[in-house]
Structure 1
């Protein structure tokens, strides 16, 4: 039997089953797999997905494991979470979008405070008002360091305020220049390319870098942050008016920095990653 199985390239158990069964025998099928603790874990998963409807199993898993670890219970495998969420119909629809261009550049540095990126986006309120938001992001730890928001057009003055606030957020209040050169990566929007903005950034010790023309994907890390913020916060929140949105913005950024699991950070939040990699 072994020689036959090797010659055919099949398992011996398959041949044994075929020999012992009759043509009318139907192959035995295993029923749904489950564990005794699945029901309790699924209840925890439902709490997470009800609060964060845009989270799939990959980001639900670290949040669930944080709860279990705080209670001294063993962690669960992402595959188990996937199985339970699939059985309960809690999985997200699979994304099928394809990028229009391929960008091979490496944006993420090996340490924090080597390259920062910035971008802006718009939030449309239900009453027709609009909120313009600009933010700064560290390309290593992915922390959204600071943001500015306005109901008017985004100006170079606001971008310069963002630069100064970002500097103080990372190096302390009253800091007027970076301890070492830091790249400041943005697109080619007028508030970023204005001469006053470029000169002000250089005076702070920032190395002004802009993306190629008509290529916003070159600032992909900032673009990805915008997508995450809109998907996980903006699209799930009340947007009655600009005032309501402005009141919620600080909580959104704080939640992203302290709770949001990030795939590039091994499913840790930006603050968790910074804490784990900060010198002692």
Structure 2
């Protein structure tokens, strides 16, 4: 009844009463093996001497890998943290990012076609280990994929982006330049292929205004990625009032 009122387990009270007078808590009265700690420090310094950017997890994995190969018992990762902290071998903590006070109240979608186009790149991993890289250009009004390019290597250079822009302008306006009186924006992130001087020069030559999302604004950038990867690659796209299943050809 007393244990129930106090909210403690009877087994715990029984253990307390059965303890010997010389009992000590091993968690607070732990004896450090300074010799073993010095051996651990020397092993860690030998692993991170050439590349001191390794944290305690990776340094511990390298040390334990060598110890296991020699038939020795590995150390616990908590011990690596304690010893490396005592000898100032831990990496400095990353500075806390200042929260932006900017209000994300902008609207990416527009109410009319050919007012804002958005673009983004993506990679698709294949079963044989190859990677297909692609880039697309989409209208922010009807979400139609106006033009796209794909190739079987990693990386997003500027040439496919510029070629995609030319094809998109020809498809929408039938010319190599946007019609007079049309104010068209080209929205993209801050990737090198989109911010390249050649890309900006071509965009302005085509009569389009280049616009980039803020660096810390995933709310505006992911609109293009979500709508395309979830709606176009995994389903169908609508073009001219009819449903067309896209096919990907790298020839």
TM-score by length of 1: 0.46
Structure 2 distance, partners of 1:184, 1:231, is 22
Structure 1 distance, partners of 2:107, 2:159, is 30
Instruction: Please name the residue that 2:21 is paired with.
Output: none
Instruction: Please name the residue that 2:112 is paired with.
Output: 111
Greater relative contact order, per chain length (Cα 8 Å cut-off, separation 6+): 1
Structure 2 distance, partners of 1:104, 1:127, is 43
Residue 110 of structure 2 corresponds to residue 128 of structure 1: no
Structure 2 distance, partners of 1:227, 1:176, is 28
Instruction: Please name the residue that 1:177 is paired with.
Output: 177
Structure 2 distance, partners of 1:102, 1:215, is 10
Instruction: Please name the residue that 2:141 is paired with.
Output: 140
Structure 1 distance, partners of 2:133, 2:231, is 14
Distance 1:166 1:147, change over 3 A: same
Structure 1 distance, partners of 2:216, 2:160, is 23
Q: Equivalent residue of 1:149, what SS? A: strand
Query: Deviations 1:64-85 (Å, cap 9, x if unpaired)?
Result: xxxxxxxxxxxxxxxxxxxxxx
Query: Deviations 1:32-55 (Å, cap 9, x if unpaired)?
Result: xxxxxxxxxxxxxxxxxxxxxxxx
> Where do 1:155-234 residues align within 5 Å?
155-172=157-174, 175-179=175-179, 180-229=182-231, 232-233=234-235
Decide whether the 8 Å contact of 1:121 with 1:226 is kept in 2.
Answer: no
Root-mean-square deviation (CA, aligned residues, Å) is 2.2
Structure 1 segments (4+ residues) deviating >6 Å:
none
Question: Which structure's CA Rg is the greater one?
Answer: 2
Distance 1:202 1:231, change over 3 A: closer
Structure 1 distance, partners of 2:109, 2:241, is 17
> Where do 1:24-39 residues align within 5 Å?
none
Structure 1 distance, partners of 2:232, 2:205, is 33
Query: Deviations 1:108-134 (Å, cap 9, x if unpaired)?
Result: 112100111001111000011001110
Instruction: Please name the residue that 2:241 is paired with.
Output: 272
Shift of 1:105: 1.2
Shift of 1:154: 1.8
TM-score by length of 2: 0.51
Decide whether the 8 Å contact of 1:139 with 1:221 is kept in 2.
Answer: no
Distance 1:185 1:128, change over 3 A: same
The unaligned stretches of length 5 or more in structure 2 are 1-101, 243-251
